Amino acid sequence: MERLEAYSNIAAVSTVAKICNIIVRSDEGITRAELARFTGFSKSTITQHVDTLLSSGFITQISLPDKSNGGRTSQYLKLNKDCGVVVAIDLGITSLHVGICNIMGEPLAVKCIENINVNEGPEAILQKAVSMANDLLEELNVPKRRLLGVGMGVPAPLEFSTGRPVSPPVMLSWDGYSVKEYLEKAFGVRAYVDNDVNIMAIAELWRGDARDDLNFLFIKLGTGIGCGIISNGNIYRGSNGCAGDIGHMKVDGFTHTCYCGNIGCLEKLAGAAAIQERAYELARNKESPYLEKLLSQGEEITCKSVNAAVTSGDISCIELIRTVGGYIGDVVSNLVTFFNPSKIVFGGGISNFGDVIINPIRKKIYGSCGSLATKDLQIQRSRLGENCGVIGAAILVREELFHPKEFTKVLSSVLEGDTAANGK
Ligand SMILES: [Zn+2]
């Protein structure tokens, strides 16, 4: 029944919304002739709807050389990246990035707080995010009417339709809280909330090195470990929104009890806290000269200090990171066998260990997966940097706002607004 309802909803959306969605998803732009060919609609239908879209200001047209037309120029239709702005929020377990982006996901300004504590609760954290966003909007001198929507990533499994975290293992006070509703009230526009790793996978799909990959995995290695799944060019969230929660997959042979209650979870062995804990042991046992010195000077030992130790050639720290890479490789090998991705992109603070952590992961994958699964597989670090989550949160807004089901409502309110304004 659900499947039928989903189909009938799609079937009911207007032609103009379908055409707009294809223009938006073409990213680089599409000609009217290509649109007609792609949709099967007549040229006159395309012309009529494209004119409506151009007058709404959501799309624009530019002259570009047309490869299929002997090098002559053609008019390409594309999303008007200046049609409005988006508030994009990326909440990690220990950090908060807030940005104002254009609708293509390009950041115009970003603010960040490191060392936040998500357990201060949803209202305290969201209030901070809203006030940072309002400051940025004011700095950029953006009038309220240009704000199209809000996107946010949260480090918890959540129900996407309502934007509520569901049984989050590390931020209990957020359980069932409607983040979406809070943001919609605060900004007066539509808000979309997703898992933080999913928004990073979306950023990688549209703005990163996975732009040409239809089936790939984005793996965040940080305080938490999670996996964003892109299947056939779309994010895959699972039936309850918790697909890709790989931090709580079991690594064989370990009996550590995780905070989630299970035994031998990957995150408990390879998350930032596990690395930090092991680093303190290396310092106390005088196994790492670099970390021992830091400890004797009374300095805090963090993953950044371990990375500095690795760069300086500290053997025990290099060994620690290689071991952690091996644990991650055990779990990721299973994902490769199961999903057959064309690419795996690693992001998050722990991916900053670079080849020292990625080479052992690679070795495990090549050692245990079939040759067909690894034949064309590319394994790399994300190059989007620390704004990856902000970029993804902004693109999430674009994806949802211009989805045919939603866009029909958005467009009619814009066009009605125009008529009202013209009538005055
Ligand atoms: Zn666990």
User: What is the pLDDT, as a whole number, of residue 410?
Assistant: 82
Distance CA 395, CA 311 (A): 35
- Distance, CA 269 to ligand 1 centroid (Å)? 10
Q: Where does residue 142 rank: exposed (0-12), middle (13-18), buried (19+ CB within 10 A)?
A: middle
CB of 118 closer than 8 Å to CB of 171: yes
Coil vs helix vs strand at 36: helix
**Integer Cα distance of 59 and 81 in angstroms:** 8
Tell me how far the alpha carbon of residue 264 lies from the centroid of ligand 1, in angstroms.
Answer: 7
Contact in structure between 268 and 310 (CB atoms under 8 Å): no
Distance, CA of 308 to CA of 111 (rounded, Å): 26
Q: How far is the CA of 168 from the centre of ligand 1 (A)?
A: 11
* Gap from CA of 390 to ligand 1 centroid (Å): 27
| Distance of CA 355 from the midpoint of ligand 1 (Å) | 26
Instruction: Tell the residue number behind the tokens 């130790």, with chain if given.
Output: 309
- pTM of the predicted structure, to 2 decimals: 0.90
Distance 245 CA to ligand 1 centre (A): 10
| CA 192 to ligand 1 center in whole angstroms | 27
Q: How far is the CA of 176 from the centre of ligand 1 (A)?
A: 20
Q: In what order do the strands lie in the sheet with 216-221?
A: 234-235, 225-231, 216-221, 343-347, 378-381
pLDDT tens per residue, the chain (424 residues)? 444 444 444 444 578 888 998 998 887 889 999 999 988 889 988 998 899 899 889 999 998 887 666 768 889 999 999 999 999 999 998 899 999 999 999 999 999 998 899 999 999 999 999 999 999 999 999 998 899 999 999 999 899 989 999 988 888 999 999 999 999 999 999 999 999 999 999 999 999 999 999 999 999 999 899 999 999 999 999 988 889 999 999 998 888 899 888 999 999 999 999 999 999 999 999 999 999 999 999 999 999 999 999 999 999 999 999 999 999 999 999 999 999 999 999 999 999 999 999 999 999 999 999 999 999 999 999 999 889 999 999 999 999 999 888 888 887 777 776 544 444 4
Cα 226 to middle of ligand 1, angstroms: 12
List the helix and strand counts (H, then E) for the chain.
16, 14
109: exposed, middle or buried (C-beta count within 10 Å: 0-12, 13-18, 19+)? middle
How many A from CA of 247 to the centre of ligand 1? 7
Tokens of residue 1, six digits: 């029944």
How remote is the CA of residue 246 from the centroid of ligand 1, in Å? 9
Distances in whole angstroms, Cα of residue 299 to Cα of each of 279, 305, 383, 392: 13, 10, 31, 35
What ranges in 173-230 are assigned the alpha helix state H? 179-187, 196-207
E strands of 17-125, at which residues? 59-65, 73-79, 85-91, 95-102, 107-114
Give me the residues paired with residue 226 across strands.
220
C-alpha 221 to ligand 1 mean position (Å): 15
List, in order of start, the domains of the chain with CATH numbers: 2-79 (1.10.10.10), 85-202+387-405 (3.30.420.40), 209-383 (3.30.420.40)
Between CA 230 and CA 392 the distance in angstroms is: 13
State in Å: Cα 259 to ligand 1 middle: 6
Tokens 């495990």 belong to: 364
Report pLDDT for 145. 87
Q: Is 219 helix (H, G, I), strand (E, B) or coil?
A: strand
- Ligand 1 mean position, distance from CA 253 (Å): 15
Does residue 220 contact residue 196 with C-beta atoms inside 8 Å?
yes
CA of 266 to the centre of ligand 1 (A): 7
Ligand 1 centroid to residue 284 C-alpha, Å: 27
389 Cα–ligand 1 center, Å: 23
